[in-house]
Structure 1
Amino acid sequence: MNAIQEPDDFRNRGGDSGIDLQAALAMAGGDVALLRDLAGAFLDEVPRLIGSLRRALEEHDSALLRSAAHQLQGVMRCLHIERALHQSQSLEQHAEGTTDWPAVEKLLAELDETLEAAVGALKKFLNEPS
């Protein structure tokens, strides 16, 4: 197991990204390698899911919006990317009933900005020596 000795090493490493790396490490059972795998999986999936959200907005496809927003939440929950998690939950809720597409467009822009910071922080984390 590749666990770090002092979880405090992760305190504040998420910076302004909305990521709580210390909580994410705790969720990974203190296993840094597992946390790195989760971060890598998230980075691999984000472009596809954001593309699906954009396509849902362009096509006014509530089912696709709901599905992509829901899928995005899984790894965000594990990585404790709280701000983006709440934004994707809001997108999923907007897909219920009559969809307010201007509100969806605004939420998606906010999510893009949040994810840009999160992706940067995760790339930095993955580039750090183990």
Structure 2
Amino acid sequence: MNSLPSLRQPCPPGTCTCRRDELLEEPDADLRILRLTRHEEQRLLERLENIRSLADLERLQQRMYEQLGIRLSISPSHNEVRSMRGIAIDFVEQPGLCRKTRQAIPAAIRRGLERQPEVAYRLLDAHDLLRDA
């Protein structure tokens, strides 16, 4: 017996901008993002908080794209970087990505960078910001 993978529960009406219903109505829509249940989201956030290296962070970004279709860019902001808030974490617009998830993922990445500042230094170095240091 084939069973469909469990999909994320819908947000209460009027509280989210994810456009989940529009996504479900499209016949050829990419539904991978709806497979991110609340339990799976918690596991993802935990993994993002416990990154150990820049390669680990990049691997997680790649897996998020492959499995969920989430495109995420992490780079130093155009202004001065004095804390983890100075690192820009941006999403490509994607229907089905919940507003709370869109806020929780960058927060988890920043917590992970605060725990492992070497990863943030490698990120800055990868963007050639520490070449004169």
The structure having more radius of gyration, on CA atoms, is 2
TM tier relative to shorter chain: 0.3 to 0.5
Please, what TM-score do these two structures have when normalized by structure 1? 0.36
